[in-house]
Amino acid sequence: MLINLRSIFLVSLLMLSPVAVHADDSEQALDAMEVNPDVGRRGEPKRVEDPNEFKVCADADNMPFSNSKQEGFENKIAELIAQDLGKKLSYQFWIDRFGYIRNTLNAGRCDVMIGTVAGNDAMLTSKPYYRSGYVFVYRKDSGLNITDWDSPDLRKVTIGVIGQTPPTRPLSDKDLLSNTKPYRLWRDLTKPPSWLVDDVVKGEIDVAIVWGPIGGYFAKKSEVPLVVVPAPEYETTNIHGKEQWNIALGVRKGEKERLAMIQDVLDRRHDDIIKILDEYGIPHLPVVEEKKKGPPAARGDVIPKAE
């Protein structure tokens, strides 16, 4: 798996080189070859930070989260924060795969990640500003009624799911894996984030179980009416089946002053941020206080911006 992912990542770098772009330069985003690959390496010079700049780490092609045209909901949240702080918004784009944090935030090429799991030990995170979870997505005209893992209709349909993500745990426990069609969206850079939802629309699968922001956004954009139902939490039955996650903003470890400045905006503008989520069809739940427990979760057990 590591070899395949590394090969895909290296090929993708040749085809889609990371770019640095200011908010008003988005049309030239994919042509702006402004990344020095040596900056950020040990012993090499670091970027000189501009105190008037709000520089965000993001993926240039990962809707509904972000893209180079700044059309994603995380782009809009970044814009809100930058405007509130009176700073100039700019981006360092990088493909969100292995090495993403190392090559962006930790290399000093950018300073803020708008969305990550609250408590992510690779960075310093804000208080959660929303919570989401996996969802069932199916056609409204299908006649299906799927509300939980024990819904009888799950036993007579083809289920699309990303391999090794949390929904595979309850599906395995309920003896439903034989009904699934596995997708390798995280491994295949040629496939759009909407892949599973597109297949529901086309009738290739009956139900998709995907991360809520992906399912909600593309269902809202679909010309075929779709039903989006939050998947029930499964963590108490199988810890690796945790379906719902608190989402926060992240900065580099040790940058408490930067985080405190941003946290003030997150607190004051919380209603505006929720409005952005609603405009994009992002399913969200009340934030739940969680205490870190047990060993770190495996990669397949975390929320998948790039499932």
For 70-91, what is each residue's pLDDT tens digit? Answer: 999 999 999 999 999 999 999 9
Give me the mean pLDDT over the 127-154 stretch.
Answer: 98
Segment 21-44 shows an average pLDDT of 48
Say if residue 129's pLDDT is above 90: yes
How many angstroms separate the CA atoms of 144 and 135, rounded? 15
- 3-state class of 209 per DSSP? strand
Provide the pLDDT confidence category of residue 10 given band limits of 50, 70 and 90: very low
Please give the Cα distance from 101 to 107 (Å, whole number): 8
Which pLDDT score is estimated for 34?
53
Q: Any idea which architecture 132-241 has in CATH?
A: 3-Layer(aba) Sandwich (3.40)
Residue 152 has pLDDT above 50, yes or no: yes
Q: Going by C-beta distance under 8 Å and a sequence separation of 6 or more, which residues neighbour residue 193?
A: 62, 63, 64, 185, 214, 218, 306, 307
CA atoms within 13 A on the CB side of 64: 23
Question: Among the listed ranges 51-55, 189-193, 256-260, 299-303, which one has the minimum average pLDDT value?
Answer: 299-303
Q: Is the pLDDT of residue 20 over 90?
A: no
Query: At a CB cut-off of 8 Å and minimum separation 6, what does 269 contact?
Result: 80, 81, 84
Is the preceding peptide bond at 213 cis, omega within 30 degrees of 0? no
Q: Is residue 1 scored above 80 in pLDDT?
A: no
Where residue 51 falls among pLDDT bands split at 50, 70, 90? confident
In the chain, where the domains are located: 9-129+245-301, 132-241
CATH top-level class for 9-129+245-301? alpha beta
Task: Please tell me the predicted confidence (pLDDT) of residue 36.
Answer: 56
Residue 300 or 269, more confident: 269
Q: pLDDT confidence of 12, banded at 50, 70, 90?
A: very low
Question: What does the pLDDT average to over 100-121?
Answer: 95
Taking CA 84 as the corner, what is the angle to CA 83 and CA 90, rounded to the nearest 5 degrees?
35
Averaged pLDDT for residues 115-135: 96
Tell me the pLDDT band of 293, cut-offs 50, 70 and 90. Answer: low
Predicted confidence (pLDDT) at residue 14 exceeds the cutoff of 80: no
Q: Does residue 299 have a pLDDT over 70?
A: no
* pLDDT at residue 42, as a whole number: 55
Give yes or no on whether 9-129+245-301 and 132-241 have one common fold. yes
Say whether pLDDT at 158 is over 70: yes
CA distance 295 to 54: 34
**CA 284/CA 59 separation, integer angstroms:** 22
Residue 37 reports pLDDT greater than 70 = no
User: Considering Cα of 286, then 134, then 259, then 296, what sign does the dihedral take?
Assistant: positive
The DSSP code sequence of 220-280 is HH-SS-EEEEEPPP-TTT-GGG--EEEEEEEE-TT-HHHHHHHHHHHHHTHHHHHHHHHHT
Average pLDDT of the chain to the nearest whole number? 85
Query: 189: pLDDT confidence band, cut at 50, 70 and 90?
Result: confident
